[in-house]
Amino acid sequence: MKLVFASNNKNKIQEIQALVPNTIQIVSLEEIGCFEDIPETAVTIEGNAILKANYVTEKYGYDCFADDTGLEVKALNGAPGVYSARYAGEQKDANDNMDKLLFKLKDKTNRKANFKTVIALNLKGKQNLFSGIIHGKIIEEKIGTNGFGYDPIFVADGYNKTFAELSMEEKSTISHRGIAVKQLIEYFIKNNV
């Protein structure tokens, strides 16, 4: 079965394709001819996932799923949250975002944070939501070269390496996205998709 993933982020697509059964082929937005930036104007992570999934289903007619992810930092009242990708500006540069976050946390002792992913699945006229949260902390400098986004400054509870120091396989077994995708896969299995 082919299923559209409402993203052109090659890192995300690769991460999710590695998690889903071989019977499901992930198709990117580019592959269905969608090159526009889908508006992410909701005030919640759930809302943005729903907006993206509905956009593809309504405009292109495909069953699909979309995710939205945010990093929520306790000392910053949940920021950057829904604005995680564009925290330091519309250029959506990961290094700029991390630099801004590290600057904002410079004098803070509470560095607790969590990543949250919500997946909205539009399949056969129904919508389902799946979510995953991983708790951890923001360290004081970037370490590691794997992953993307805030991975070089996030260490999950119970670990002593950043997400960027873990292999894709290691990260996928514990990450927020991995947790949400596992729920998605369980749904597929339960419903014989």
**Catalytic residue IDs:** 68
What's the CA dihedral at 31, 34, 36, 37 to 10 degrees?
Answer: -70
Q: Which of 93, 68, 94, 92 is nearest to 81 (CA)?
A: 68
* Segments in the chain forming alpha helices (H): 10-19, 45-60, 94-104, 168-174, 176-190
| C-alpha–C-alpha distance, residues 149 and 92, integer Å | 9
**What does DSSP say about strands 64-73 and 80-81: parallel, antiparallel, or unpaired?**
antiparallel
Ordered DSSP codes for 21-45 = -TT-EEE-TGGGT--SPPP---SSH
